Amino acid sequence: MSTQHFFATTPKNMESLLADELRALGASDVCETRAGASFSANLSTAYRICLWSRIANRILLVLARVPAATPEALYSGVQGIQWGQHFDVNNTFAVEFSISQSDITHSHFGALKTKDAIVDQFREQYGDRPSIQTSNPDIQINIYLFRNEATISLDLSGASLHRRGYREEGATAPLKENLAAAILLRAGWPELAKQGGALIDPMCGSGTLLIEAAQIAADIAPGLSRDYWGFQCWKQFIPASWQELIDEATNRRIAGLVNIPSICGYDSNPRTVRIAEENTLQADLKDYINIEQQDIKTCAPASDIKPGLVICNPPYGHRMGAEHGLDTLYSELGNTLKKQFQGWRVAIFTGNAELGKNLGLRAKRIHALYNGALECKLLHFEVAPEWYFSAQKGPRPLARDKRSDAAQMFANRLKKNRKHLSRWLKREQIDCYRLYDADLPEYALAIDVYQGIDKDEQPWVHAQEYEAPKSIDESKARLRLRESLGVVLDELGIDEAHLFFKLRRKQKGNTQYQQLDNSKHFHVIRENGCRFQVNFDDYLDTGLFLDQRITRGRLAKMAPGKCFLNLFAYTGAATVYAAKGGAQSTTTVDMSNTYLDWAKRNMVINDFKGEQHKFIQADCLQWLDKTSADSDHQKYGLIFLDPPSFSTSKRMDSTLDIQRDHVDLIKKTARLLSPDGTLIFSNNLRRFKMDREALTGLSVDDISKATLPKDFERNPKIHTCWIIRHIDD
């Protein structure tokens, strides 16, 4: 066979791995370049590379390079190839066209011009033309136009080689197969596997790393399960050469599986485990890969396996702050590694190296790889005490000597706000308050201070970053955040353990109530003589909405002798105030058992117990439909209705849109009011407009301004609040 010229494509930063692989598979004249490598080989070797490459995306057989500064030149250059030597009129074909630094600027136009040249040639020579088929065509033609020169190639791979044929369904953000293979090669897995070392992925997701590891360890050709190739309908295809390669690969697979080492995967999500098991079945490796549902905290190697490689691709978020709660996950992973995997090698693939610091292990080596367009780091560790260090939770505050001049403006604003609020805080005996709310656009944070029962103890600070627009440079935003957290520590005189960080982005549905962590670590604070449990780790909000402080105080003053109803009760803070104010009874309704239990604890720590205090777990909308239609149902002298702006969940039969649904919601709630009762209605939809005219028979008074605390004056739209009563006939 004669030698021909080829080009293999691969993701960025995988070129050197590809070049080494091509040489090992018999290619010559290998020249590494950006996003690929050129090489020379005969067709048999090219088939072998298609079958065995773990790193390449596509193998392109170069047919010609032609000048193509104009559409006419492109058309002429394409027609210079005798396409009848490659396929017939009864075949289908497709054109993939890419451009860089050329006068022709539209890839779709270039592809159409190429297609026209090919079709016209077939019509002229054969009186008929082949059809276009974009999905799995018989022949895939690739054109790369660079600096007005077109490289015209036949795509031997057809579909991208990363599609091995075993993955039917992916879990969240699955790795592409060739990226997974690159991670394993960089981690030294082939050598460890030959030595009999085991592999464990404690967060295996859809199982891609496990399957690629098994194929490497068992000498299985990654393309052996594929049923579609770009060369199978090519006229110059040599089936006998291909069949020899398939037979050889099949025999190597059988031999390789005899000595495959232990490969295990774990994941806490049962659905993900099922997906991974299905994928191992599709890869015909189910008997060689063990997958179990297991939490990261309880992962441990079996006692009879040889230490080898722990490898995983934990979640990392795509923007600063999106990783909230993941710092704990990385910390738990680090603790598990130190406790259970002494003497093992570890490779962690992450798009957020800052999160990697929570592992508490110093990396021995770091490789940069790309997951799509996102630059990620492959961190290499050895689990041994000399590599341990104290991990830190959350974004790392920047030391004073490393901050920019702009950070001083933020420090000055914190000082100014503390001084402005100090007399008011002391006079009103307020322990928990908002200190800062994006006063400076460059430092877009909300900073809340929570003083515990012990006044001598340092306060806790809950810092929430408002998500930056995508136009903001991520590295600059990250640096600015770290500066601001360092300033908070200095200005408030607290240790890092008392600082908690989260990202606050536009909420959808009930996402503000979704669990971020599972620390179950509660602190007790005081407000107006009431005690409340707050949690800074597990949810976006802490369990106490500070902006409703005055509203809760009003409820307490209205409560004496009243039967009180708290709808969408959250953690029951309003119920505690009503009971403290002297309510005859309280009824607390929320759909979440977690929050109802929290509300019960808040009542207990304020010494409110007994049958007069009822807690009802129910969808508030369904509960209102039922109770408001029941004329015999208990009436309430005071009701607090504080629904979310929008709500939906698996437990709900319908959605709640407060702007759309507030009239119906208020009317149904008002049916539960005693004739002289009072309904306090509040919500935090910034553009909320009350439809007074539709609320016939009810008086509606806006008290939003009167319920806005001094520490929230910078954010007057944080909530709206209304007093609603029956109008006397």
DSSP character string of 507-570: --TTGGGSBS------EEEEETTEEEEE-SSSBSS-S--GGGHHHHHHHHHH-TT-EEEEES-T
Nearby residues of 183 by Cβ (< 8 Å), 6 or more positions away: 175, 209, 311, 313, 347, 349, 369, 378
φ and ψ at 291, to 5 degrees? -125, 130
pLDDT of residue 655: 85
Domain boundary among 444, 478, 505: 505
Do 250 and 219 contact (CB within 8 A), yes or no?
no
Domain boundary among 356, 387, 418: 387
Q: What pTM did the predictor assign?
A: 0.59
The CA-atom distances, in angstroms, between 477 and each of 213, 366, 395, 465 are: 37, 23, 12, 10
Q: Note whether residue 614 is domain-resident.
A: yes
- 401 has a pLDDT exceeding 90: no
What is the length of the chain? Answer: 729
* Coil/strand/helix, residue 207: coil
Q: Tell me: do 352 and 212 sit in the same domain.
A: yes
Q: Where are the beta strands (DSSP E) in 211-262?
A: none
Q: Tell me: do 383 and 424 sit in the same domain.
A: no
Confidence of residue 690 (pLDDT cuts 50, 70, 90): very high
Q: Tell me: do 377 and 449 sit in the same domain.
A: no
- 676 has a pLDDT exceeding 80: yes
- Beta-carbon neighbour count of residue 307 at 10 Å? 16
Q: Which amino acid is at 356?
A: G
Q: Note whether residue 532 is domain-resident.
A: no
Query: For residue 155, what are its two tokens?
Result: 């795509």
State the Cα–Cα distance between residues 241 and 256, nearest whole angstrom: 22
pLDDT of residue 653: 60
CATH number of the domain at 365, please: 3.40.50.150
Q: Which amino acid is at 442?
A: E
Q: Tell me: do 216 and 268 sit in the same domain.
A: yes
Mean pLDDT along residues 708-725: 95
State the burial class of residue 391 (Cβ atoms within 10 Å of its Cβ: 0-12, 13-18, 19+). Answer: middle
State the Cα–Cα distance between residues 55 and 527, nearest whole angstrom: 60
Q: Where are the beta strands (DSSP E) in 14-138?
A: 28-33, 36-41, 58-67, 92-100, 131-132
Q: Tell me: do 107 and 181 sit in the same domain.
A: no
Q: Note whether residue 132 is domain-resident.
A: yes
- 507 has a pLDDT exceeding 60: no
pLDDT of residue 537: 80
Indicate the range of 313-322, 600-609, 680-689 predicted with least confidence: 313-322
Do 642 and 634 contact (CB within 8 A), yes or no?
no
**Sign, Cα dihedral of 278, 281, 285, 288:** positive
Q: Tell me: do 378 and 411 sit in the same domain.
A: no
Domain that includes residue 267, residue range: 177-222+259-387
Q: Tell me: do 718 and 580 sit in the same domain.
A: yes
pLDDT of residue 390: 56
CATH number of the domain at 51, please: 3.30.2130.30
pLDDT digits (tens, 9 = 90+) for 405-436: 889 999 999 999 999 999 999 999 999 999 99
pLDDT of residue 204: 94
State the Cα–Cα distance between residues 251 and 244, nearest whole angstrom: 11
CATH number of the domain at 455, please: 3.30.750.80
- 515 has a pLDDT exceeding 60: no
pLDDT digits (tens, 9 = 90+) for 345-384: 999 999 888 788 888 888 888 999 999 888 899 999 999 8
Q: Tell me: do 455 and 496 sit in the same domain.
A: yes
DSSP string, 621-638: HHHHHHHHT-TTSPPEEE
Q: Tell me: do 468 and 372 sit in the same domain.
A: no
pLDDT of residue 496: 81
State the Cα–Cα distance between residues 434 and 428, nearest whole angstrom: 14
* Alpha carbon 530 to chain centroid, angstroms: 38
Do 661 and 585 contact (CB within 8 A), yes or no?
no
pLDDT of residue 320: 39
Q: Which amino acid is at 500?
A: F
Q: Note whether residue 382 is domain-resident.
A: yes
Q: Tell me: do 32 and 133 sit in the same domain.
A: yes
Q: Note whether residue 49 is domain-resident.
A: yes
- The average confidence (pLDDT) of the chain is 91
- 538 has a pLDDT exceeding 60: yes
pLDDT of residue 168: 66
Q: Considering its fold, how many domains does the chain have in total?
A: 4
* Coil/strand/helix, residue 415: helix
Q: Note whether residue 531 is domain-resident.
A: no
Query: For residue 552, what are its two tokens?
Result: 């809760």
- 56 has a pLDDT exceeding 80: yes
pLDDT of residue 506: 56
Mean pLDDT along residues 574-583: 98
Domain boundary among 482, 505, 528: 505
pLDDT digits (tens, 9 = 90+) for 634-674: 999 999 999 999 887 555 567 899 999 999 999 999 999 99
- 520 has a pLDDT exceeding 50: yes
Confidence of residue 173 (pLDDT cuts 50, 70, 90): low
Q: Tell me: do 280 and 306 sit in the same domain.
A: yes
Mean pLDDT along residues 398-405: 82
Q: Tell me: do 34 and 119 sit in the same domain.
A: yes
- Beta-carbon neighbour count of residue 284 at 10 Å? 14
- 505 has a pLDDT exceeding 70: no
Using H for helix, E for strand and C for coil, what is the string for 642-661? CCCCEECCCCCCCCEEHHHH
Q: Note whether residue 166 is domain-resident.
A: no
Q: Note whether residue 163 is domain-resident.
A: no
pLDDT of residue 144: 96
